[in-house]
Structure 1
Amino acid sequence: MQNIAIKRVTLDDITVLQKIGRETFFETFSNSNSEENMQQYLEDGFSVKKLREELGNRDSEFYFAVHDEYVIGYLKLNYGRSQTELKNEASLEIERIYVLQKYQGKKIGQILYEKAIQIAHDKQVKYVWLGVWEQNLRAINFYKKNDFIEFDRHIFKLGNDAQTDIMMKKNITI
């Protein structure tokens, strides 16, 4: 797919971020989780209050993938103390890469991933890491294809369901 622009998300984009966040999360996980847990996570995880806090955090960044002025995916990165677990100054966390279902398989996720790696090089971190649900085989394979390796596991709470994420990382050569 051609003509994909990557745009840094600002507070002015909060409504669009909320919409794309909820839509892509629902598309990705609704078939594997209860309606109650999904609804709770979508309301809490993508509330305007939470997104405003995340966008206001200087150690987190969001980027949209835009095609013909339409947001089709997004990326969230965390540095330093904003990382969800490791909080290592020498690392960068890819917290989210999500693409609308109808645009999957068109290299949009790869474009967002490459933006994350470019930023990792710019920030001169030693490695990039992330957590991916153990049942999300498509994402796991995507990251393996991009030279990530498993190094640990952690628990991710979706509503009242404790799920296991595989933690993966990739060393960055500076």
Structure 2
Amino acid sequence: MENAKIEVVVARPEDARIIALLGRITFSETFGHLFRDPSDLLHYCSNTFGLEKISRSLLKKENLFWLGLADGLPVGYAKLKLDVNSDFVKASRVGQLQKIYVLKDFLGYGIGLKLQDTLLSQAAALGCEEVWLSVLNENSRAIRFYEKNGFKIVGHHDYTIGKEHFEFEVMSKALSGES
């Protein structure tokens, strides 16, 4: 895959199965080791990445999805939610980078960067002044990635899944001049 052709395409409603599967796999690859009870992980993945939920999400006008492809195979995806409020961001038009997930075997090929650049460009084109995201504070690889790409830590929040308690960094990036 070293010379793989990398591309990003807009996801369509018929891509729901692909996104649901990619979400389950990539979430488990990234965070599965943090769950003491495997049923908590399974329950979360079933709820968050269930086919029905992803299908509904793809149809909402405030949600935009992209697929990252390597030699035509779907290996990652990104989701932007438009007009999202945040206690940490004061701009009037705000987007939330809700997900950039790439299969573990394809990390380091630039797919995440291409997904992020596409998402940020589209957010700016749609009038977003700022984009924010949450990243697990233990995920130093992701935090470095976002910092390298102009995001700054602007706050923290907690989240509980089953018996597990997680701490997140909130990061944001102004989009002036991005489009």
TM-score of the superposition, structure 2-length normalised? 0.89
Look up the match of 2:19: 17
Look up the match of 1:150: 153
The C-alpha deviation readout for 1:6-47, integer Å capped at 9, x for no partner, is 111112111111111111111111112231221111111011
Aligned pairs for 1:84-99 within 5 A = 85=86, 89-99=92-102
Match of 1:108 among 104, 108, 111: 111
Unaligned runs of 5+ in 2: none
Per the alignment, in what secondary structure is the counterpart of residue 113 of structure 2? helix
Look up the match of 2:74: 71
CA contact (8 A) 1:79 1:89 kept: no
Per the alignment, in what secondary structure is the counterpart of residue 76 of structure 1? strand
The C-alpha deviation readout for 1:76-116, integer Å capped at 9, x for no partner, is 10001xx3745975111100001111110111111111111
Per the alignment, in what secondary structure is the counterpart of residue 171 of structure 2? strand
RMSD: 1.8
2:164 corresponds to 1:161: yes
Query: Number of residue pairs matched?
Result: 172
2:51 corresponds to 1:48: yes
Per the alignment, in what secondary structure is the counterpart of residue 125 of structure 1? coil
CA contact (8 A) 2:4 2:71 kept: no
The C-alpha deviation readout for 1:124-147, integer Å capped at 9, x for no partner, is 221111000111111011111111
Per the alignment, in what secondary structure is the counterpart of residue 31 of structure 1? helix
Per the alignment, in what secondary structure is the counterpart of residue 106 of structure 1? coil
Look up the match of 1:138: 141
Q: 1:84 to 1:17 in 2, by over 3 A?
A: farther
Distance in structure 2 (CA, Å) of the matches to 1:165 and 1:96: 14
1:118 Cα shift? 0.8
Matched letter for residue 25 of structure 1: F
Where in structure 1 do 4 or more consecutive aligned residues deviate above 4 Å? Answer: 84-89
1:119 Cα shift? 0.8
Matched letter for residue 10 of structure 1: R
Distance in structure 2 (CA, Å) of the matches to 1:24 and 1:162: 20
Per the alignment, in what secondary structure is the counterpart of residue 134 of structure 2? strand
TM-score of the superposition, structure 1-length normalised? 0.91
1:156 Cα shift? 2.4
CA contact (8 A) 1:92 1:128 kept: yes
Matched letter for residue 33 of structure 2: N
Unaligned runs of 5+ in 1: none
